């Protein structure tokens, strides 16, 4: 009897569970909300309304925020921003406002360029651009990548050109007034941190402290204009290793420097030089400071050389302050994307300097053609190349040039003291 009662209870429990299974109703889903069934609904970002608000804030005839605030938030003047927008839209149709398949208006050109510039200049996270510019994270990353590529393609040929003969003459004239005739600029390297370096590459890109970085070699003048960049070598290298791989010496041999002559302390030299620190070799194309000066002449020379060599250090500081994405370790995964970011920032840096240094900024920025001021490059035979290379690497000429500058700067100091007296 007890077994029959237990069987009846088990049967009632099984029937009850089966009935509950039949009566079960799944929770309701918004199957028509997203781009595909069973996906969440798309976010309504009100792009048109925010675009009108952005135009009212910054681009109207009488904007809410004036030129001062625009320059601080965009790091470029509004005239330069509009010029960049026009040229980028003409090159890449991605930045032109279009309608999607449903007939809805997409992001405007101002919104896309604003996203790219703010991510470069302010290092705003891609996800945070949704607040004001109304872009998703993936769209913001695509805007920045396409913007950097378009800037390099559109403006790189002119704003990262090799110095022409007129450029050399202008720089030599400026530096002669500073006491260094024949000087073109200053040379140094900067490390750009790489946070997301691949595990397989960490041995190459890591320094002795374990920090992963990529090296940028640059030549800058007194106005902080960048005339030469070489980027991409792992951070485990030093400045000498970068110089061996850099095209800098080749440019000195074949560029406009070949026709430059100057005189120091009664001696004539036929190629301009760069100010560098002590790690670089004792070549005639580099003028270095004196590590432990012994007399007043050497001390005066060391002070003047180190003061002028700070041009490139100041350039690195302004570049990092102007583009926060360079100041902080990069979170990109691929070398191509990192290179595009670095080159785009250097190009924009030069454009800002050219725009703000002249009376009419846009005339300085345009410069789309070289006209009669094209970069000079001569062809060298193997014998000429070996001869010129031996001349550059001549350490006797290096010490002779530095000795002439010691006497030259000391004589200038005596003349200035005599005039003051």
Q: Which two tokens stand for residue 80?
A: 């330069």
Task: Find the helix packing angle between 78-91 and 67-74, rounded to 10°.
Answer: 50
Conformational region of residue 66, where left means phi above 0, alpha means psi within -120 to 50, and beta covers everything else: beta
Q: Among 282, 309, 310, 245, which residue's Cα sits nearest to residue 395?
A: 282
Q: Which two tokens stand for residue 87?
A: 């040229």
Answer yes or no: are the C-beta atoms of 231 and 215 closer than 8 Å: yes
- Averaged pLDDT, 43-49: 80
Would you kindly state where each structural domain of the chain is located, as residue ranges?
Answer: 47-155, 165-331+379-420
* The pLDDT of residue 37: 66
Please classify residue 233 by burial: count the beta carbons closer than 10 Å to its beta carbon, then call 0-12 exposed, 13-18 middle and 19+ buried: buried
List pLDDT tens digits, range 354-413: 998 864 444 444 444 444 445 455 666 778 878 888 888 888 999 999 999 999 999 988
Q: Coil, strand or helix: which one is 271? A: coil
Q: Alpha-carbon distance 181 to 165, whole Å? A: 16
Angle, vertex CA 242, rays to CA 246 and CA 401, nearest 5: 80
Q: Which two tokens stand for residue 329?
A: 């370790």
- Averaged pLDDT, 42-54: 83
List pLDDT tens digits, range 100-121: 787 888 899 999 999 999 999 9
Global pTM value: 0.84
C-alpha of 45 from chain center? 31
- Averaged pLDDT, 337-345: 95
List pLDDT tens digits, range 249-276: 888 888 766 667 888 988 888 888 999 9
Answer yes or no: are the C-beta atoms of 366 and 373 closer than 8 Å: no
């Amino acid at each position: 009897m007890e077994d029959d009662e237990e069987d009846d209870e088990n049967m009632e429990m099984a029937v009850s569970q089966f009935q509950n299974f039949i009566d079960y109703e799944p929770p309701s889903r918004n199957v028509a909300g997203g781009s595909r069934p069973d996906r969440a609904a798309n976010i309504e970002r009100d792009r048109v309304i925010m675009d009108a608000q952005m135009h009212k804030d910054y681009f109207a005839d009488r904007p809410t925020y004036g030129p001062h605030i625009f320059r601080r938030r965009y790091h470029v003047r509004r005239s330069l921003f509009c010029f960049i927008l026009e040229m980028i839209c003409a090159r890449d149709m991605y930045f032109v406002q279009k309608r999607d398949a449903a007939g809805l208006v997409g992001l405007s050109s101002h919104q896309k360029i604003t996203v790219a510039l703010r991510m470069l200049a302010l290092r705003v996270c891609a996800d945070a651009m949704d607040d004001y510019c109304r872009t998703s994270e993936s769209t913001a990353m695509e805007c920045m990548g396409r913007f950097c590529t378009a800037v390099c393609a559109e403006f790189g040929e002119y704003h990262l050109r090799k110095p022409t003969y007129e450029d050399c003459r202008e720089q030599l004239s400026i530096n002669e007034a500073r006491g260094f005739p024949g000087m073109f600029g200053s040379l140094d390297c900067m490390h750009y941190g790489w946070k997301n370096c691949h595990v397989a590459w960490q041995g190459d890109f890591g320094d002795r402290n374990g920090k992963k970085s990529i090296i940028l070699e640059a030549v800058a003048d007194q106005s902080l204009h960048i005339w030469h960049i070489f980027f991409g070598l792992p951070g485990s290298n030093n400045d000498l290793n970068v110089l061996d791989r850099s095209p800098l010496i080749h440019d000195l041999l074949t560029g406009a420097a070949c026709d430059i002559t100057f005189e120091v302390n009664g001696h004539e030299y036929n190629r301009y030089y760069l100010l560098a620190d002590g790690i670089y070799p004792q070549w005639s194309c580099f003028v270095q400071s004196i590590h432990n000066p012994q007399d007043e002449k050497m001390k005066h020379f060391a002070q003047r050389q180190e003061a002028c060599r700070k041009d490139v250090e100041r350039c690195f500081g302004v570049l990092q302050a102007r583009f926060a994405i360079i100041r902080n370790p990069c979170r990109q995964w691929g070398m191509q994307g990192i290179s595009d970011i670095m080159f785009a920032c250097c190009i924009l840096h030069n454009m800002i300097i050219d725009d703000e240094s002249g009376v009419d900024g846009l005339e300085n920025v345009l410069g789309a053609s070289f006209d009669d001021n094209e970069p000079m490059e001569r062809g060298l035979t193997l014998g000429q190349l070996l001869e010129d290379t031996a001349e550059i690497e001549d350490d006797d000429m290096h010490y002779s040039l530095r000795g002439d500058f010691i006497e030259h700067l000391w004589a200038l100091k005596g003349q200035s003291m005599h005039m003051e007296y």
